Amino acid sequence: MVERMERTMPTTAVRDATSSRRFQPGQAVVGRVERVEEMETGERAALVRAGGQLVRARLEAPLAVGRLYLFEIHERQGTIYWKAVPLSERASAPLGEEAVRRWQKAWKLPDAALPVIRQVLKAGAAATKEEIAALVEAVKETGQPDAAEDVLAHLFRRRLPLSSAVFRLLWAAKTGAPLAEQLGKLKEIMAALSAEPAALELSRAMEKFLSPPLSAYEAAVRLLLSEEEEAETARALLARLGLAPLPEDRRLALREAVQHRRFADIIRQLGLMDEEAFLERWAALDAAYQSGRLPAAEAQLWVAVRATRDPALSLFCWLRRAAGRLGLEDEAALVRVGKTAALPSSAPSLKRLLLRFLYESESEGAKRASEALLDQLDGMAIAAGGDGLIEHIWLSLPLPVGGRSSDLAVCWQGRRKQGGPLDADYNRMVCCLTLEELGEVIVDMRVQRRIVHISMFHDDPRLAVAAARLAPLVKERFQAHGYALSGIDVKAKYSAPPPPPVFLFADGCSEVDCQA
């Protein structure tokens, strides 16, 4: 039984007033007494290092310098008091398992609470008994306490709300099936509910959002750069797409951007005011061709521009807009609404449609599948952090490559510049892409002082040959953006870092010097 010391201390912040907001009544935090001093009034005061902050506390009973205490925070007549429970017998005792056990016994918590307390202690967080108990129940539900502790560590490390709901969403993000796989299953369920209006609307929206035509942008570019003898026919097809021929200066700029594969410049030269309308017109034009309703000359040119073998530009545009299509930025849009009182003008997202479907559908199986997908999307948004647009900390996207969609999962880790922006000069990106022929390929890209090294992990010898052949082009593209490529290597798959959903929660990284 831990001796409970009835010592109370009204507290004030040493350097600023944030302590009264950071530490709230009902919480507890572990702190070490760094110094005891006499005040001008004759009272004794202590400087306590707690939760990463230095707090000055007036003492009603002496505490030992260097000792570790569990401080339970109470409020009495408008004043915040900290009641001390000793966690160490020695001044030099570290924040170890002994302190974890003593906290557990002080609050009479079960052994299942040990992983939660361990991470609270490690992060220097302040927590209530109720918050710890709720997290314990959430960890139990996973059935995998060791893996769950990694998610707990991430939650506390990022100072996210100590909520079991937040933990469950992060857990769904880490352990959920690949997004493309979940979307495929949901499509199958929707197909069986064709008589249900809500399911029919969601199916059409998913097809529209997640099955883009991968030659749309390339086709538009090829029409705009058509040869003179095709000009009249190209002009007719461009009109069907809502586009007009470019003046000569923009045409030359577009041709140069295509030659150097500057995709962002290509999009600017296209001047698409409404990309959703453009894609709808493209689909209508392609449907007219399929049904034989195009004049012969237009049909012939459409076949030529449609048969592109290089969908890189369309994939670039798909990835550029994917977060918005999925709804990963919806919460940020709501924050902006609160600040500006202006409703967002963005197109409906998959996330918003899924939320609507949950209220309108009568199928329990479809609702469960929708909720699982929503949990994963919410978990990714929480893991991304920030209160603005989604940041590239972790993103998983269904990528339409080849005959089926597969996941492109990207985990970004690095440091930030002063003020918060991600530092593009120092970072690490771990990507996982599933291809039809090669299967899963993991790519690890490290950037130090704008010097890039890329490692790919796969056992197929053809990948090393392809990497060597494409290395000069990759080096040239990095140079165009002010980066230097130090090399590309292909390693055995067994030596790969964890895939992004697992890598995100691994605690083996300090800025960009990560343990692979």
pLDDT surpasses 50 at 19: no
Quick: pLDDT tens for 293-350.
999 999 999 988 887 667 788 888 888 877 778 887 777 666 555 555 555 555 678 8
pLDDT surpasses 60 at 400: yes
pLDDT above 90: percentage of residues in the chain: 19
Least confident of 18-22, 133-137, 246-250, 404-408: 18-22
Least confident of 17-26, 160-169, 192-201, 408-417: 17-26
Could you tell me the pLDDT band of residue 465, with boundaries at 50, 70 and 90?
Answer: very high
Could you tell me the pLDDT band of residue 442, with boundaries at 50, 70 and 90?
Answer: very high
Quick: pLDDT tens for 468-512.
998 998 898 888 888 999 999 999 999 998 888 888 887 554 444
Whole-number pLDDT of residue 414: 78
Which has more confidence, 181 or 292? 292
Whole-number pLDDT of residue 166: 92
Could you tell me the pLDDT band of residue 241, with boundaries at 50, 70 and 90?
Answer: very high
Whole-number pLDDT of residue 42: 67
| pLDDT mean over 350-354 | 85
pLDDT surpasses 70 at 60: no
Least confident of 31-35, 55-59, 198-202: 55-59
| pLDDT mean over 455-475 | 91
Contacts of range 408-413, beta carbons closer than 8 Å, 24 or more positions apart: 408/319, 408/432, 408/433, 409/178, 409/433, 409/499, 409/500, 409/501, 410/500, 411/500, 411/501, 411/503, 411/504, 413/503, 413/509, 413/512, 413/514
| pLDDT mean over 129-147 | 91
Cα(105)–Cα(117) distance, rounded to whole angstroms? 11
Contacts of range 19-24, beta carbons closer than 8 Å, 24 or more positions apart: 19/53, 19/55, 20/80, 22/51, 22/53, 22/126, 23/50, 23/51, 23/55, 23/73, 23/80, 23/126, 24/73, 24/126
Least confident of 77-81, 355-359, 394-398: 77-81
Whole-number pLDDT of residue 316: 84
Alpha-carbon torsion (51, 54, 55, 60), positive or negative: positive
Whole-number pLDDT of residue 342: 56
Per mean pLDDT, which of 66-70, 80-84, 222-226 is the most reliable? 222-226
Per DSSP bridges, beta strands 484-491 and 451-457 are parallel
Could you tell me the pLDDT band of residue 437, with boundaries at 50, 70 and 90?
Answer: confident
pLDDT surpasses 90 at 171: yes
Whole-number pLDDT of residue 32: 82
pLDDT averaged over the chain? 80
Quick: pLDDT tens for 207-232.
777 666 778 888 899 999 988 888 89
Residue 339: phi and psi, rounded to 5, are -85, -35
Alpha-carbon torsion (157, 162, 166, 167), positive or negative: positive
Cα(242)–Cα(281) distance, rounded to whole angstroms? 7
Whole-number pLDDT of residue 5: 34
| pLDDT mean over 393-417 | 75
Least confident of 200-204, 216-220, 261-265: 200-204
Distances (CA, A) of 341 to 333, 335, 344: 11, 10, 10
Give the three-state DSSP class for 434: strand
Q: What is the pTM assigned to this prediction?
A: 0.78
pLDDT surpasses 50 at 3: no
Least confident of 123-127, 184-188, 227-231, 306-310: 306-310
